[in-house]
Structure 1
Amino acid sequence: MGQPLTVGLIGAGHISAQYLATLARLDDLRLVAVADLDVERARTAAEQAGAVGTTVEGLLERDDVAAVLNLTVPAAHAETSLAAIEAGKGVYVEKPLAATTTDARRMVDAAAAAGVVLGGAPDTVLGTGIQTARAAVDSGMVGTPVSATATMVTPGHERWHPAPDFYYQPGGGPLLDMGPYYVTSLVTLLGPVVRVIGAASALRGERVIGSGPRAGESITVSTPSHVTGALVHASGAISTLVMSFDGTATRAANIEVHGTEGSLTVPDPNRFTGPVSLATPQDSWRDLPVSAGYRGAARGYGLADLHWSGAFAGEPTAGRAQGALAFHVLEVMEGVLEAAREGHSVTMTSTVARPDAVPLDDR
């Protein structure tokens, strides 16, 4: 794409290390500045990356920042992104796109009005795991897809995260934290969702931090910690979703896709690689060879894919990790929570085309 895309990173917290590692090895992305509410933390991260540490305001004023990588907490995604858009910057946001669809809609509309890029995580779907599964579905290996299941069960992030408060506040919880990986994968595999139903609970009102300087401190749970949903896709396929911070473990496949001619197991959508297995009425389970996706994919490849696709070169809706997809995924998840709260099904107001498949790519 010619010149590297110049990037300013906002939010030098826990997840930033993974993005910084990707930025360091992709020549097509060049980190120029890092900002954080804790300016010293920003300067430390920037120094290690050969960039400049600054305030959020200082970063947004820089003429050499073409794209803002927004790694703030979910409650700050909208405010930070809108400020970046107002400054004329393209934005790529860590998942979820925003804490609410109301805020996310403001972001989508503002980016469209300004003619700038709005992209959103997760980009794990661009790796060889989900993309090999996508290729299997597209080639008809399972016949017509009929249903899918997606299951994530863990004891909760307070065991290892030193500041897990936001995981148990509105905008967090297992669905909005981990659900984006699963729902984005389901949309990638089976297409957009038209209607959802749901049930949810939060049977434990407090959690105890297990590591770091606040170990032993109790935090309040104010969002569902176990969520079950059914997603009706426009194709007619139905996905069942279980997202929980209330269990210990599960032996269920992360994702399974069932069709008229076979069944497919799909690897952990929180990772970029993993085995894809196929079973048919004639053959037992067998692993499929890697056939699609970015081989080197890691966090940040969504931003790179937008750049490689020309999104920052006058085609802001080009590329796979578009804000429209992240918005639809957020609406699906918010719809499941609304359905659980209100006791009725919820019809989606948005739709989105399945992102283009990723051919096998060694980048």
Structure 2
Amino acid sequence: MDVVNAGVLGCGTISDAYLSAGDRFDAYEITACADLDTERAEQAADEYGVTAMAPEEMLADPDIEIVINLTPPSVHEATCTQALEAGNHVYVEKPLASTVAGARSILDVAEREGLLVGSAPDTFLGAGLQTCRQVIDDGLIGEPVGATAIWTSPGHEVWHPNPDLYYQEGGGPLFDMGPYYVTALVSLLGPATRVTGSVTRASDERTITSEPRDGETIDVEVPTHESGIVDFAGGATANLLTSFDVQGSTFPMPAFELYGTEGTLALPDPNHFEGPVRVQKRGEREFEEVELTHEYTAGRGAGVADLAAAVRTDWSHRTSGDLAAHVLDVLAGIRESSETGEHLSFDADLDRPEPLPGAWPAEY
């Protein structure tokens, strides 16, 4: 298929992961980058051999078909809308938007313009979670019954040079790390139908301890310790805990398991593309590692390749905007449930993403 040209909008910390993936895939090529901070865009362009542009210039460039939107979550709705209305397909970092209404608005604009939206996380396309999908589909652990997903930390201010956005609208541990776990679970179990949750915030301010802003205080606008229960259409239920308020834990991080009628599946870190994948079957005392059934372990950019293939061919788009919007429904539902004290139910109008060929992306 013809290569799809892509441009990166937003040259912050995460942009390195995408720009460094430019030569990893045959489906697309990153040719440009843009940022409101001109100097930052020029530095990224020099490092990765692409063209630095102003944001409006890149959106209007007829040679660029996909905008990789790496702006802060609080402006995802506005920036995705601008890119779509300029005629670009969009692949956006997670979460799709900071609100459910914002996510739906993005998808409505895409439908109106006849364009595609893809969204991170794309880690479920990796060999680790695709192997887990094969384990479940082959019935090695029987029928799925439940799952546990735990991710905790002291907060991003201990390592990130500019942690502000993690404590602003669209941030918090659930919106930051929850997409990895919920996306993985939906890809394995199918859509969710009901959530309940309880969330809290330990303080209204955080003190940065990372360089170069060590000692600076930032405001906290979102919950920082968030737990939920997610029910899936197939009957399984999952416990989810994400936190920026845990100084240490005896749990291995992350703790991610799926329980079936005939065994337990120990899932790999959904923030990565590789394994290990381990299974303990009924009657056995130890977990055994499962050989990976898929090949891709290289890192970010897989979702852009997935979108590019869908742009050019009849490829089944797995990292779709519909999937990302459903995941956001779940995450926002946990917070809403905490506020209302009630379960939140929604229609499960979503199919599980199709499993990938084992050799992907070599085939595209």
TM-score, normalisation: structure 2 = 0.95
Partner residue in 1 for 2:296: 295
> Deviation per CA, 1:52-86, whole angstroms, max 9, x where unpaired?
11111010110100100000010111111101100
- For residues 307 and 161 of structure 2, the distance between their equivalents in structure 1, rounded to whole angstroms, comes to 33
Range that drifts further, 128-137 or 345-354: 345-354
| Residue 105 (structure 1) aligns with | 104
Q: 1:88 to 1:318 in 2, by over 3 A?
A: farther
Q: Per-residue deviation at 1:307?
A: 2.0
What are the superposed Cα offsets for residues 264-317 of structure 1, whole Å, 9 maximum, x if unpaired?
Answer: 10011011112111111222211111013x424411101102223xx21265x8
Cα distance in 2 for partners of 1:286, 1:67 equals: 42
Do residues 133 (structure 1) and 150 (structure 2) align?
A: no
Percent identity between matched residues is 44
Following TM superposition, the consecutive aligned residue runs of length 4 or more in structure 1 with deviations greater than 4 angstroms are: none
Q: Deviations over 1:231-281 (max 9, x none)?
A: 010011101100111113442453111011111100110111121111112
Q: Is the 8 A contact 1:124 1:297 kept in 2?
A: no
Residues 316 and 354 in structure 2, CA contact (< 8 A), matched pair in contact too: no
- Structure-2 residue corresponding to 1:318: 316
Q: Distance in 2 between matches of 1:232 and 1:188?
A: 14
1:72 aligned residue = 71
CA contact (8 A) 1:335 1:348 kept: no
The one-letter code of the counterpart of 2:266 is T
- Structure 1 residues 304-351: Cα deviation after superposition (integer angstroms, max 9, x where no partner): 02223xx21265x83110000000000100000000111111112453
Question: What is the identity, as a one-letter code, of the residue corresponding to 2:283?
Answer: Q
Query: Match of 2:30, SS?
Result: strand
CA contact (8 A) 1:32 1:64 kept: no
Partner of 1:24, secondary structure, is coil
* 3-state SS in 1 of match to 2:90: strand
Please list the CA deviations of residues 11-66 of structure 1 after superposition, one character each: whole Å capped at 9, or x if unmatched: 00000001111113323321121110101211221122222111110101101001
Equivalent residue, structure 1, for 2:53: 54
Please, which runs of 5 or more residues in structure 1 have no aligned partner?
A: none
Give the equivalent residue in structure 1 for 2:358: 360
* Structure 2 CA distance for aligned equivalents of residues 170 and 185 of structure 1: 24
Deviations, residues 202-240 of structure 1 (Å, cap 9, x unaligned): 122221111223210111212110111000100111011
Q: Which residue of 2 aligns with 1:304?
A: 305
Length, aligned pairs only: 358
Which residues of 2 match residues 104-123 of structure 1 at below 5 A?
A: 104-123=103-122
Q: Distance in 2 between matches of 1:299 and 1:83?
A: 24
> What does 1:149-168 align with in structure 2 at a 5 Å threshold?
149-168=148-167
SS of 2:357 mapped into structure 1: coil
| Structure 2 residue matching 1:306: 3-state secondary structure | helix
3-state DSSP of counterpart to 1:33: strand
Matching of residues 251-262 of structure 1 within 5 Å? 251-252=251-252, 254-262=255-263
CA contact (8 A) 2:84 2:110 kept: yes
**2:343 match:** 345
Q: Could you tell me which amino acid in structure 2 is paired with residue 228 of structure 1?
A: S
Deviations 1:147-171 (A, max 9, x none): 0011101111000111111111221
Aligned equivalents of 1:270, 1:259: Cα separation in 2? 23
Where does 1:223-242 land on structure 2 (aligned, <5 Å)? 223-242=222-241
Q: Provide the secondary structure at the position in 2 that maps to 1:80.
A: helix
The range that moved more, 118-127 or 46-55, is: 46-55
Query: How many angstroms apart in 2 are the aligned matches of 1:271 and 1:314?
Result: 27
Q: Tell me by how many angstroms 1:133 deviates.
A: 0.9
Measured in 2, the distance between the counterparts of 1:274 and 1:318 equals: 24
Mapped partners of 1:12, 1:121: distance in 2? 16
Alignment root-mean-square deviation, CA: 1.4
Q: Which moved more, 1:97-106 or 1:22-31?
A: 22-31
